[in-house]
A and B are shown apart, each in its own frame.
Chain A
């Protein structure tokens, strides 16, 4: 069965500093990988996705992520965070066919210090 691990429950970063959120997945085949962001009381907004090809993917709001098959990782990065980036971030894995739905990590709560 597929699984996703986000080892950091909370991360605190100063505004303007760089950010890296970790995501490790367990999946037999080549996965589809996603990062979503959720603000309080809101639904999930897609930040970026990896299906195939270039392992460094660019997303919205200045985020990027790198797929590393050897490490089963898909870490999210941003060179300089803004106060508006404070939110909950979810990594998810899906499979070709998609009928089994996405499997999500538990999320990482990002706190931005002024």
Chain B
């Protein structure tokens, strides 16, 4: 069974731009969670989607948003990029959100 895939793997953007990251979960998994990883703050929960509904969101500004499609694929969007948004963005999938989360390789975003 294929693992979680994330595209693109690397991105370079400039301040003020927006970016969209994509995540394809493991086949059969309906829950997708997003995390931001930075050297200073570590791994922080962004939000979780299940059956196209956002069930919870972490403590991030409204510039961070996401959605989930009927095939469980998910996208996250960051608008008006700031330098501090430079991070590794990790996507994780699980069957229903209650079980083990399996992580993708991440998208590394650099904001200049």
Contacts and interface: CB of A to CB of B under 8 A. Distances in A.
Interface of A: 34, 36, 41-46, 49, 90, 92, 94, 96-107
B98 A97 contact: yes
B105 A99 contact: no
**Centre residue among B46, B47, B55, B98 by max chain A CB count within 10 A:** B98
B35 A101 contact: yes
B64 interface: no
Nearest to A46: B100
Q: B interface, by DSSP: helix, strand, loop or mixed?
A: strand
B45 A103 contact: yes
Given A92-B43, A101-B58, 16 more contacts: A42-B105, A43-B90, A43-B106, A46-B102, A49-B100, A96-B98, A98-B31, A98-B48, A98-B96, A98-B97, A98-B98, A99-B50, A101-B46, A102-B35, A104-B44, A107-B42
B72 interface: no
Contact of A99 (B97, B100, B103): B97
A36 B45 contact: no
Contacts, number: 64
A101 B105 contact: no
Interface residues of B, number: 30
B47 to A, nearest CB: 8
**Centre residue among A101, A104, A105 by max chain B CB count within 10 A:** A101
Contact of A101 (B33, B42, B99): B33
B90 A44 contact: yes
B56 interface: yes
Given A98-B94, A98-B98, A44 B42 contact: no
